[in-house]
Chains A and B, each alone.
Chain A
Amino acid sequence: MLSVAGRIDFSKYEKMQPVYTEYNVGYYRRSFNLSPNSFDEHEISAEMKEGVLTLRLPKAERAKSRKIPLR
């Protein structure tokens, strides 16, 4: 199971009176089921750039399929 959760800083909304709103702000969480033992847990990396989170989950060596050569 991979979970991504975030919290926001509400202090910047103090003294701000909403006059027109299109989206909600708040804490968030999403979870994804990963097949067990398929990923190299120690090699998972995360990068945040311009508000976009990129997670890299390298496939574990044992989970890689074996290529069958054609004769």
Chain B
Amino acid sequence: MVLGFVDPFDALFRFQRALDQQLDSDWLENATSGVGSFPPINVFRHGNDFVAIIEMPGVSKNDLALEVRRNAIRISGNKAIDYGGNASVHRRERVAGRFDRTITLPVQLDSDRVRRQRA
């Protein structure tokens, strides 16, 4: 009789459940998307490639920098909002400012073949 140890199978099942929860995101479900880091990123597998779709409305091409190194992609830039001269704000949901995010992928990236595309 060994005291102080948990059932190894129990530990295994808990690990399995934790992994499943990771996979079980609310993708395509009803939920708001206006929370979390900016810019929000979705990553897909497409054949042998990864496709990262990043939503950044209002960010102009000149204010955006992309960097690839080994297995990481860095997205940084500035989002500017110009309401024009003499506007007063009644309601503000959109925010402006600098952003800097890095995502890592579980594979080595071919930095020469990383392509960017604006929708």
Chain A residues with CB under 8 Å of chain B are: 13, 15-26, 50-52
Task: Give chain A's interface secondary structure class.
Answer: loop
12 contacts between A and B (CB under 8 A): A13-B44, A18-B43, A19-B43, A21-B42, A22-B42, A23-B40, A24-B28, A24-B29, A25-B28, A25-B42, A26-B28, A51-B56
Asked if B66 CB lies within 8 Å of chain A CBs, one says no
The smallest beta-carbon distance between A6 and chain B, in angstroms, is 12
* Known contacts A50-B59, A52-B57: A16-B36 contact under CB 8 Å: no
Task: Give chain B's interface secondary structure class.
Answer: loop
Q: Chain B interface: which size bin?
A: 20 to 34
Q: Pick from A25, A26, A50: contact of B57, CB below 8 A.
A: A50
